[in-house]
């Protein structure tokens, strides 16, 4: 009886030890996944914060996207932000300080009025990043 219990204990101990070892097939497939993830990460281009912000504006489906930067390329100070806030019309509904504080990114479904744009261009570099700065109304074109 004692021999039988010892044999049973040895068998259980062997089962436990074998079950604790990692499954080689799983370990190898995990290594392949990790290599694949590294290859995908290397193939994905690294985008700057300003590129991500611009893409977020496009994802939000804004018709017009404008970028304002200081002419000297430096960071915007409090006076620059106050000026921009006073000149940018209220219908320009999304404004984001971007590029590590060196730019203001504006998203809107309304075109920047010429008088506001001229005031901004006197003080800042003004870029129109809209996909199509002169969008055609598809309903009007369809009725022609």
Q: What residue segments make up the domains of the chain, in order of their start?
A: 2-43, 49-128
Contact 44, 100 (CB under 8 A): no
Q: What is the pLDDT of residue 18?
A: 61
> Which stretch of DSSP H or E encloses residue 119?
helix 114-123
- CATH fold of the domain at 49-128: Alpha-Beta Plaits (3.30.70)
DSSP reduced 3-state for 98: strand
* Residues 75, 26: Cα–Cα separation, whole Å: 51
Question: CB-side exposure of 122: number of CA atoms within 13 Å?
Answer: 8
Reduce the secondary structure of 12-59 to three states and give it as a string. Answer: HHHHHHHHHCCCHHHHHHHHHHHHHHHHHHHHCCCCCHHHHHHHHHHH
Q: What is the pLDDT of residue 3?
A: 72
Q: What is the pLDDT of residue 138?
A: 41
Give this prediction's pTM.
0.61
Q: What angle do CA 92, 118, 113 make, to 5 degrees?
A: 35
User: For the chain (length 144 residues), average pLDDT per consecutive 10?
Assistant: 70 63 64 62 70 92 95 96 94 91 94 96 96 54 42
């Amino acid at each position: 009886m004692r021999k039988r219990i010892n044999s049973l204990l040895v068998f259980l101990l062997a089962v436990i030890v074998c079950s604790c070892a990692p499954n080689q097939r799983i370990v190898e497939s995990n290594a392949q996944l990790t290599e694949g993830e590294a290859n995908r990460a290397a193939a994905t281009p690294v985008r700057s914060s300003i590129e991500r912000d611009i893409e977020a504006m496009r994802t939000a489906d804004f018709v017009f996207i404008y970028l304002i930067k200081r002419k000297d390329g430096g960071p915007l100070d409090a006076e620059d932000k106050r000026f921009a806030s006073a000149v940018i019309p209220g219908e320009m509904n999304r404004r984001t300080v971007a590029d590590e504080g060196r730019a203001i990114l504006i998203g809107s479904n309304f075109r920047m009025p010429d008088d506001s744009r001229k005031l901004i261009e006197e003080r800042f570099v003004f870029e129109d990043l809209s996909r199509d700065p002169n969008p055609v109304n598809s309903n009007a074109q369809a009725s022609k």
